Structures are given as C-alpha cells and as structure tokens.
A and B are shown apart, each in its own frame.
Chain A
Amino acid sequence: MTLNIKYFGLIAEITNCNEETLDFSEGSGSCLLKLLFQKYPALVGIDFQIAQDHKIISKNTMITGAELALLPPFSGG
C-alpha cells in the first residue's frame, strides 16, 4: 500500500521534507520504523511517536491507515 507520511520538528529536518509517500507492504508500526530507519539512519535514537489517521498509536499497532505522522517531543518555551 502507499502511505502518506508527515514529519514534524526535528524529524522533518532529518528527512529533509515535511511529507512524502512511501510504499509499504504490510505490518506493524515496528515494521514501518524498520523501513524508515533504513531510509533515514539518523532517525535511530531520536524519540518520536507515530500517529495513524490522526491518532497516536503504539509500535505494535498494525499499519492500515493511509495517513501517518512522526511526531517528536518539543523542548522550547
């Protein structure tokens, strides 16, 4: 399936884009992470959450949605 992935904050700086489409066979959030870590090794060690169809999910959740987002914590105030 084709995923549309949005990147926020520091993640978007690592991927060098705010949004992209990726081909993904199937699997859980962990499988998606594996794919992303291959494409962007600098993401390893960065903390972030995954949102699927506008909802934060755990890494064990199956990826079924069309729209994903990677969200790091922000520090500034």
Chain B
Amino acid sequence: MGRYDRHIMLKEVGHEGQLELSNAKVLIVGAGGLGCPILQYLTAAGVGTIGIIDFDVVEISNLQRQILFKTSDIGINKALAAKKQLQDLNPTITIEAYPERLTSKNALQLCAAYDVVVDGTDNFVTRYLINDAVVKTGKPLVYGAIFKFEGQLSVFNYQNGPSYRCLFPKPPKKGVIPNCNEVGVLGVLTGIIGTMMANEVIKIILKFSDVLSGVLLCYDSRTTKISKLIIDRNQSEINHIINQTALQEIQVNTQCEPLLGEITELNNLILNQIEFIDVREKHETPKIMSLKYKQVPLGQIKEHLDIIDSNKKIVVFCQSGIRSKKAVELLRDSGITNAVSFKGGVMNMITNIKNIKNEK
C-alpha cells in the first residue's frame, strides 16, 4: 500500500488531488504551538515543498505544546529541529529550514516563493508584516492566533477576500495584548487550532469551495463553543498596503513605541500617515510651511477631540516640548492612546522635516 492511499481513496482528493498536494509549496512562519501540528499534518499529507522560518531555539517550556520537539532538541533552532523530525516522517518531500527572523528585508521574497503562507507567529509585529507581505505578493494567508483557552482562525487575502488589516487595521499598543509566554496557554488548544489551520491549507490547495475566507472562527476550549463572525473586505486598507513602498516602515511606526511616548526624531515615520498637532497658541511662531498640521492650543484640546484623527498615529508638538507632553497626557485621559510628544519642540521638528526632504 502506498503512503497516500487513504487520501487517494477519497474521491474528493484522488490521484489528481494528491498530485496537487505534491506540487504545492507552503511557507510556515513560526514553528511553535500552532506551527508544529501544521507542519506535521502537511508533511504527512505530502505537501511537496514546505518552508519553515523560525529564529528561536527550543526551550523546555515549549515541550508542553510544541509536539514536534523532543527533550533532546532543547537549545537547537526550531526550524532546523523541525526539519529533522519532519524529514524522517516523510523523506519524499522537500523541506527548507530558514533559521532566521522574518523581517521586512526577506518577507516579500520568501512569500513570493510559496503558494500559501501560514501565520503561526506569537507577536503582532510579525503578524502585520506577514499580512502586508501576502497582500503585496498576492498569496493566500492561513491565520491562527490564541489566548489562553481561546483561538481565532481565518483565511485572509484569498480570492478577493479580506486581509487581517480589514479585521484589525492597526496593531494594538505594545504590551496591551499578552502572548503565551506571558499568560500561559492550554497546550492542546494550539493543537486544535493548528490542525484546523492545516485543514484550511489543504482546502486551498485542493480548491475546495468552502475555504474559511471572510469569516473569523472563534473557538473556546473550555465551553467547546464555536462562533463564526463575518469580516468584510476593506478596500482602502488593502490599497494602503499595496501603495506602501517598503514593508519595514509599516511595522516600525505602529508597534515599537513606548507606552508613554516621547520621540525625538521622525525617522521611519511616513509623514502623510501622521496626524500632527501643534498645541501652541495660534499667534506663536515659527509656523511650519512644509508640513500639514492642525492647531489645537493646549487649553482647548479636550473641547476639540473630534477634529483629531485618532485612527492615525498622532505626533504632538509645541515650542519646546513641555506643553506637548501635557497634551499627550490629556489625550490619553480621553482614551486617545496613540499620541506621542515631540521632544525639542518646533525647531527640532523643522530640522527633522528638512532632513527627511533632503533624503528624498
């Protein structure tokens, strides 16, 4: 009997479907709790080329849920350790291990080399990077994420369906949403969600009609309740990603900022994506001719919250950098938490803008 007999016996798969599987190339980002079961099932199913990217090494606390790894793997890179186990499970397929971090420098090239991309990461920086990379390269994305006893699952960027940013346009503030290492996770949950993700990958490859696109499946392992929520495609979010020239800028300016923020330079920020607020009195000079900004004097900020676009990152400046700090506190008290104060005031701002324009 052959390796794939039980697949081939299914008339919905057959020899043809099995051939589709062996011709498919799937990239799995993150060989963790979700990545391990995904990798095992896709390897066993005979997906012809599997890429694994993970920079991390196996730790003893991973073994409770990352079922590919053995105690003897502790200290070894996860992509390499996974490849070793998987190649033994199925030596007939090609497994590419990338023992490195997915970054804005390699994401587009890697996604372009595969047919389906799978998100098994544990952080928002990489999640948004993957999302933007698949939108730019036109690849379907199988997404899963977990929190303690609950999991989310969907397929993004599939046949004009929504992307992850159509569901959550912006990354949450750093430190607000904890990951498994910080709050714990039920080991078997990662197996359930990961296995469902592997199933979606196979449905995409075999061109099944009911791929989980446009729907977010939420699973609670304590109650065994499943909720399905409909997500619409948001074309402006998609266009925004497509029109961005570089991936790096997208993630840096949204995620890696301190909670109570003060910045001293505009590096990595895209000027027209920022809501600049001048909190000086309207008579104060100098004005900045080359920058679009709103004037809201500090004393009136609470009355004028409606004119501030809180969907954008907000940079507040004043004459010296003192009133802008106060303004950021006031905005935070009003629930606007994505504002930062610009240190050094208006003169530093002018210098920064000059530098940016000169670089271009």
Binding site for B on A (CB under 8 A): 6, 8-10, 18, 37, 44-47, 49, 51, 54-56, 69, 71-77
The CB with the most chain B CB atoms within 10 A, among A45, A46, A54, is that of A45
B121 contact set on A, CB distance < 8 A: 77
- A8–B226 alpha-carbon span in the complex (Å): 12
Asked if B229 contacts A54 (CB within 8 A), the reply is yes
B113 at the interface (CB under 8 A from A): no
Q: CB < 8 Å: which of B122, B170, B223, B228 contacts A77? A: B122
Asked if B122 contacts A54 (CB within 8 A), the reply is no
Asked if A47 contacts B122 (CB within 8 A), the reply is no
Asked if A49 contacts B167 (CB within 8 A), the reply is yes
Q: CB < 8 Å: which of A6, A10, A44, A76 contacts B122? A: A76
5 A-B pairs whose Cβ atoms sit less than 8 Å apart in the complex: A9-B177, A44-B335, A74-B152, A75-B124, A75-B180
Chain B interface size range? 35 or more
Asked if A47 contacts B145 (CB within 8 A), the reply is no
B144 at the interface (CB under 8 A from A): yes
| Given A45-B335, A77-B146: A6 touches B168 (CB 8 Å cut-off) | no
A49 contact set on B, CB distance < 8 A: 167-168
Asked if B179 contacts A8 (CB within 8 A), the reply is no
Given A9-B177, A74-B147, A77-B120, 8 new contacts (CB under 8 A)? A9-B147, A47-B172, A47-B173, A54-B228, A76-B147, A77-B32, A77-B144, A77-B145
Q: Measured between C-beta atoms, what is the minimum distance from B60 to chain A in Å? A: 18
Asked if B150 contacts A9 (CB within 8 A), the reply is yes
Q: CB < 8 Å: which of A6, A8, A46, A74 contacts B176? A: A46
B34 at the interface (CB under 8 A from A): yes
Q: Measured between C-beta atoms, what is the minimum distance from B24 to chain A in Å? A: 22
Interface residues of B in 39-92 (CB under 8 A from A): none
B33 at the interface (CB under 8 A from A): yes
B218 at the interface (CB under 8 A from A): yes
For B176, give the chain A residue with the smallest CB separation. Answer: A46
Asked if A54 contacts B227 (CB within 8 A), the reply is yes
- A9–B151 alpha-carbon span in the complex (Å): 9
Q: Measured between C-beta atoms, what is the minimum distance from A42 to chain B in Å? A: 11
| Given A45-B173, A54-B230: A75 touches B335 (CB 8 Å cut-off) | no
A77 contact set on B, CB distance < 8 A: 30, 32-35, 119-122, 144-146, 179-180, 190
- Chain A to chain B: the 8 pairs with minimum beta-carbon distance, closest first: A74-B145, A76-B180, A47-B172, A77-B122, A76-B146, A75-B179, A9-B147, A55-B230
Asked if B335 contacts A73 (CB within 8 A), the reply is no
Q: Measured between C-beta atoms, what is the minimum distance from A34 to chain B in Å? A: 10
- A6–B146 alpha-carbon span in the complex (Å): 17
